[in-house]
Structure 1
Amino acid sequence: MFALLLICLTTQVRALILTPVAADLAHPWGLAFLPDGGYLVSERPGRLLRIDAKGERHPVSGLPPIANQGQGGLLDLALDGDGWLYLSYSEPGDDGAGTAVARARLQKDALTDWQLLFRQQPKVGGGAHFGSRLVLMDDYLFITLGDRYTERDRAQTLDNHLGKTVRLHRDGRVPGDNPFVKTAGALPEIWSLGHRNMQGAALRLGSQQFWTHEHGPQGGDEVNLIQPGHNYGWPKVTFGEEYGGGKIGIGQSAPGMTVPLWIWVPSIAPSGMTFYQGELFKEWQGDLFVGALRGQALMRLKLEGDKIVSQERLLTDLGERIRTVKEGPDGALYLLTDSGKGRLLRLTP
């Protein structure tokens, strides 16, 4: 058994309790809740674990080849009500690697009925900016994709998946009402463009809104409400600058570019996000939570309509990079911390 870690904060709620659920995880990235009270956790180096309700871990077999390099590896997880587990991962190839998404069924700690749904085009060398988060909405699957760092200018063109969000049906088909289906030379699965490296995405319940955040370059991390066909500017417009200094693009805004709802300057390196709807933290219902890697905190963003009006930094004494935050079926917030000895933590009042 793990001891309870009590962290007292200046917050509108009260003292918070962090209960470790699992420890010694190798850079955990994705989290899904199982119907039996257990968890699925992806480790970036390429391992999938089932953690049962007692905290015991069970390796899951049946994963494809994974490019474990830099920021790439086994990434996000999403589980639907029909028993399909969706996985995003860095897929190796002759020209480098790219984000891929597949789905499978979990049977006796093995993945079966494997279906490849998506491959990022093109594959690129290097280990940076793979994205990637998965969001299920009705019959649709949303995928966030990075620009792969060296190919940032291609985030502005529609003949590739670099720096884009993608919308598919859950079985991988392209919806007929996607915004670029009839655009000559465009990949029809693209939903939005002009992104850098989106490592957070969430569905806002009640409104069916698809929100993301992305890493900025040395400043300018963004939160965006994603609209079909919109261009979010990167790298033409940004609130960040080149590493080591220097202007990128033409400024912070331009005609035809959608401005972010929130920015962080300096960067917090956001990762993971969720809208809270549970009963444990009634004061937080409707708030947006974002993990911070560089910032080593849990950010609580207060909304009025579609506007973010304030933020509160939580868990600043934890001293850990927060990779993922999700609301659990019990109304608690669950966090994954990013390190070679990462942890799955449960946050309650």
Structure 2
Amino acid sequence: MISLTVPAWAENMGERSASRDLPFRLERVATLDLPWAIAPLHDGRLLVTTKPGEIWLFDGETGVSLRNVPEVQFSGQNGLLDVAAAPDFAQSGAVYFTYVSPQNALVLARARLGDGALEGIETLWRQTPGGRGQPGGIIAFGPDRMLYLSVGDRMQPDTAQESDNPRGKILRLTPGGEPAPGNPFSGSATRAATWTEGHRNPYGLAFAPDGRLWSHEMGPRGGDELNLITPGLNYGWPEVSNGDNYTGWPIPDHDTRPEFAAPSLWWTPVIAPAGLAFYVGDDFPDWRGHMLIGALRGQGLVLVAGDGSDQLARWDLRMRVRDVAVDRAGQVWLIEDSGSGGLYRLVPR
């Protein structure tokens, strides 16, 4: 059984060792070229994106590459990114996806899932200005049926503190891509769409069963963060971080600037978190209500208490885990960040 004893304050989880004693085995379902994101559908099928620019539809172990996917800029951290089914997918067949365009802009698009193809593709939101790497691009639909979108700082840290610049923000949009009513700011279209600011590179965004929104982001040299997302708050990047600049030059810690929201947990040495899902299901009853986080540099899977208060377990899978997802049947899926990356299903031992 997993101990739920938790600290009374945010602690560094990075110094805790990973275990090779796995409570599951990995069943490889498919091999893909740099898979990036997983989206379970209501009927048990899966959508999986690859960074070079493919969207695969899996029905069991059979997968087809969808036609009509837009051209992407595949370079470094950029390419085809996240994918998510609309809340009304069973009726509309609508899927949302993000990618970096050939013009370096992060793009949010919507399409209908047709017979082996995307149909009626619409661009809903386009980042202006664009940028370099660290695009973010994670999509989450809330209980309010609004769309939440993470935007990285595009390797230009100071812009995360510029109110009219979408870099380093989490946006809240209508399903049609407009600023959602009830957002905490007003003014320009970018400002009116902003939910929170001061982020570096959020590659995890998910709603807990209790309706709260959580995100994680990669720190620089140390200081990966898990954050409870509260509308209107500033999370401090690049003014504060529990990591240092890549040059070794220090950055003030979060506890020096209480006006910025501090993380619930942090990791130094980094795990490079990627993918975030809350577990619901029967395969792993000890995990119910808790977070599953993939680790790229940490090469594994991390289980975090659902209230963000502690790292409950960390498993060494000896591969870079790019995304983790839970389908409606309670099955856990993950993908490997590799040119011959596996799509895996977790099977309880």
Provide TM-score, normalisation by structure 2. Answer: 0.89
What is the distance in 2 between the residues matched to 1:311 and 1:218? 24
Q: Is the 8 A contact 2:41 2:327 kept in 1?
A: no
Shift of 1:244: 3.7
Equivalent residue for 2:153?
Answer: 147
Equivalent residue for 1:190?
Answer: 194
- AA in 2 matched with 1:262: L
Shift of 1:338: 0.4
What is the distance in 1 between the residues matched to 2:74 and 2:297? 21
Distance change (3 Å), C-alpha of 1:185 and 1:10? closer
Equivalent residue for 1:176?
Answer: 181
What is the distance in 1 between the residues matched to 2:148 and 2:188? 22
Shift of 1:341: 0.4
Equivalent residue for 2:24?
Answer: 16
Structure 1 residue 136 corresponds to structure 2 residue 141: yes
Structure 1 residue 308 corresponds to structure 2 residue 314: no
Shift of 1:37: 3.1
Equivalent residue for 2:3?
Answer: none
State, as a whole percentage, how many aligned pairs show the same letter: 38
Structure 1 residue 233 corresponds to structure 2 residue 236: yes
What are the residue-to-residue correspondences of 1:316-331 with 2, within 5 Å?
316=316, 318-331=317-330
- Give deviations 1:10-56, integer Å, cap 9, x for gaps: 47xxx412111112x11101112234432211000111111222x22
Shift of 1:253: 3.7
Q: Is the 8 A contact 2:243 2:251 kept in 1?
A: yes
Equivalent residue for 1:86?
Answer: 96
Q: Is the 8 A contact 2:279 2:287 kept in 1?
A: yes
Shift of 1:290: 0.5
3-state DSSP of counterpart to 1:155: helix
Shift of 1:9: 5.2
Q: Is the 8 A contact 1:27 1:339 kept in 2?
A: yes
**Higher fraction of strand:** 1
- AA in 2 matched with 1:204: A
- Give deviations 1:191-222, integer Å, cap 9, x for gaps: 110000011111102x2111100000010000
Shift of 1:250: 6.9
Q: Is the 8 A contact 2:35 2:49 kept in 1?
A: yes
Distance change (3 Å), C-alpha of 1:111 and 1:336? same
Match of 2:215 among 209, 212, 217: 212
Shift of 1:187: 2.2
* Aligned pairs, number: 325
Equivalent residue for 1:3?
Answer: none
Q: Is the 8 A contact 1:273 1:324 kept in 2?
A: yes
- Give deviations 1:97-119, integer Å, cap 9, x for gaps: 12111110011111112121111
Distance change (3 Å), C-alpha of 1:242 and 1:61? same
73-82 vs 33-42, which deviates more? 33-42
Provide the aligned C-alpha RMSD in A: 1.8
Which runs of 5 or more structure 1 residues have no equivalent in the other structure?
Answer: 1-7
What is the distance in 1 between the residues matched to 2:342 and 2:34? 9
Distance change (3 Å), C-alpha of 1:241 and 1:252? farther
What are the residue-to-residue correspondences of 1:277-288 with 2, within 5 Å?
277-288=280-291
- AA in 1 matched with 2:182: D
Equivalent residue for 1:346?
Answer: 345
Match of 2:64 among 58, 66, 71: 58
Equivalent residue for 2:11?
Answer: none
What is the distance in 2 between the residues matched to 1:31 and 1:346? 12
Match of 2:301 among 298, 307, 310: 298
Which runs of 5 or more structure 2 residues have no equivalent in the other structure?
Answer: 1-18
- AA in 2 matched with 1:193: E
Shift of 1:134: 0.5
- AA in 2 matched with 1:217: P
Provide TM-score, normalisation by structure 1. Answer: 0.89
What are the residue-to-residue correspondences of 1:234-249 with 2, within 5 Å?
234-249=237-252
What is the distance in 2 between the residues matched to 1:68 and 1:91? 9
Q: Is the 8 A contact 2:198 2:235 kept in 1?
A: yes
Structure 1 residue 71 corresponds to structure 2 residue 77: yes
3-state DSSP of counterpart to 1:92: coil
Distance change (3 Å), C-alpha of 1:251 and 1:33? closer
- Give deviations 1:309-340, integer Å, cap 9, x for gaps: 233112x1x31000001111221210011000
339-348 vs 109-118, which deviates more? 109-118
Q: Is the 8 A contact 1:174 1:188 kept in 2?
A: yes
What is the distance in 2 between the residues matched to 1:307 and 1:335? 21
What is the distance in 2 between the residues matched to 1:261 and 1:251? 11
